[in-house]
C-alpha cells in the first residue's frame, strides 16, 4: 500500500473482496499520521572545485 504525500491525516478503512468468491471480504484499518520533519545541513556552506575535479 502507498499513501500519497498529500493524503489527509486520520483513520481509513480498507475493504477487499475476493476475485474468486465475491462473498468473501476482508477489512483493515490504517491510520495516516504526519511524516517527521526532515532537516538537511550542508557543511561547509561553500567550496571551490577545479573543472573536472571532485571533492
In a domain, 37, yes or no: yes
In a domain, 53, yes or no: no
pLDDT in tens, 19-49: 999 999 999 999 999 988 889 998 888 888 8
In a domain, 55, yes or no: no
Q: How many domains does the chain have?
A: 1
- Calculate the alpha carbon distances from 39 to 25, 36, 42 in Å: 42, 10, 10
Its pTM stands at 0.54
In a domain, 30, yes or no: yes
Closest CA relative to residue 28, chosen from 12, 17, 39: 12
In a domain, 50, yes or no: no
In a domain, 52, yes or no: no
Write out the residue range of the structural domain in which residue 19 sits.
1-45
In a domain, 54, yes or no: no
Amino acid at each position: 500500500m502507498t499513501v500519497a504525500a498529500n493524503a489527509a491525516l486520520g483513520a481509513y478503512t480498507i475493504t477487499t473482496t475476493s476475485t474468486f468468491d465475491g462473498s468473501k471480504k476482508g477489512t483493515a484499518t490504517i491510520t495516516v499520521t504526519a511524516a517527521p520533519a526532515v532537516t538537511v545541513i550542508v557543511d561547509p556552506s561553500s567550496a571551490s572545485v577545479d573543472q573536472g575535479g571532485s571533492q
